[in-house]
Amino acid sequence: MTVAAPFSSASARPAEAVSGAAVPVATPAPAVMLDRLCLRLGGRTVLSDVSLRFDRDEFVGVLGPNGAGKTTLFRAILGLVKPAAGGIEVFGRPARRGQPSIGYMPQLRVLPAANLSGRATVASGLDGARWGVRWRDRGARAEVDRVLELVGAEALADRRLHEMSGGERQRLLLAQALLGQPSLLLLDEPLISLDPSRQDGVVALVRRLQRDLRLCVLFSAHELNPLLGAMDRVLYLGGGHAALGTVAEVVTGPSLSRLYGSPIDVVRLGERIFVMSGSREVGIDPHGPCAPGPGMPGSGSPDPRPAATGAAAARPR
């Protein structure tokens, strides 16, 4: 298990002999490296002195209660939140706005107009400032078709959003995050408002994409169990601190009690795991469904502009 500890971004494999001389062979930089990172939000310390690395080809579940810093961490990796101290590197370079190597699916998603087609919805991620322009050229249309195929949403291309289930809309938002062939996916609470069967489908799809495309995926959630069969490692956040490792290493009573600074019990029932603080389960999702767009049920306000919910949210305009 990894806890906050300083380390250097420099890494190398053992030296190899070349023409009689030992020449070190540098290894690729990790997907994300946090070096003594401190994040503050509204005067509150969200993360304190956290040093971790996420490798290029792994699925990491990011867990923790509300306010633990999951969304803030993602926004800092995107270059949208400036560290109070320490640093963040993404593929060996300092985190900055508009990193094309990152695909992003934010937690608060205002879906576009209900009469938009699936294809137009995904295409809006090519340019978050307008709809129906760039995606009409041949290259952009081919890119939209490519990501629709990746997520198995070809049948949704010509359907309208109001005809789709929540799980189908999530596929479109995931397709949007894959525009531009990113190497890192940040998925912030993609299971919100989905029933268990659709949660399982989203997790299985993301795991398949992660393996097939050799991505680094950081997948935040309030509940551990939907991710159990997919994660390579789990990152738990709490009390400004972090613990990263396998489920067996991190999800234990002693480990989480140290992280949260209070007694935590881990109860295993069959294939399910429950993290308990007294009689309360840690991490129960208090959120409602994702915010509807104009024309969607529950919408009460006009759409101010096209949504930059996927790749466009992480790319310069």
Would you give per-residue pLDDT tens digits along the chain (317 residues)?
A: 655 443 333 333 344 444 556 666 678 899 999 999 999 998 899 999 999 999 999 999 999 988 899 999 999 999 999 999 999 999 999 999 999 999 999 876 666 677 889 999 899 888 654 444 455 678 888 999 999 999 999 999 999 988 998 889 889 999 999 999 999 999 999 998 888 888 999 999 999 999 999 999 999 998 899 999 999 999 999 989 999 999 999 999 999 998 888 899 999 998 899 888 876 777 644 433 333 333 333 333 333 333 334 444 454 43
Long-range contacts at 206-212 (CB < 8 A, ≥ 24 apart): 206/59, 206/174, 206/230, 207/59, 209/150, 209/151, 209/174, 209/178, 209/185, 210/57, 210/58, 210/59, 210/185
Counting the structural domains of the chain, the total is 1
Tokens linked to 1: 């298990």
CATH number for position 243: 3.40.50.300
Please check whether residue 316 lies inside any domain of the structure: no
Please check whether residue 21 lies inside any domain of the structure: no
Please check whether residue 211 lies inside any domain of the structure: yes
Please check whether residue 178 lies inside any domain of the structure: yes
Please check whether residue 280 lies inside any domain of the structure: yes
For residue 38, the number of C-alpha atoms closer than 13 Å in the C-beta half-sphere is 8
Secondary structure of residue 57 in the 3-state scheme: coil
Domain that holds residue 45: 2-8+26-300
Please check whether residue 133 lies inside any domain of the structure: yes
Q: How many Cβ atoms sit within 10 Å of the Cβ of residue 302?
A: 9
Tokens 């304190």, residue? 48
Please check whether residue 122 lies inside any domain of the structure: yes
Please check whether residue 38 lies inside any domain of the structure: yes
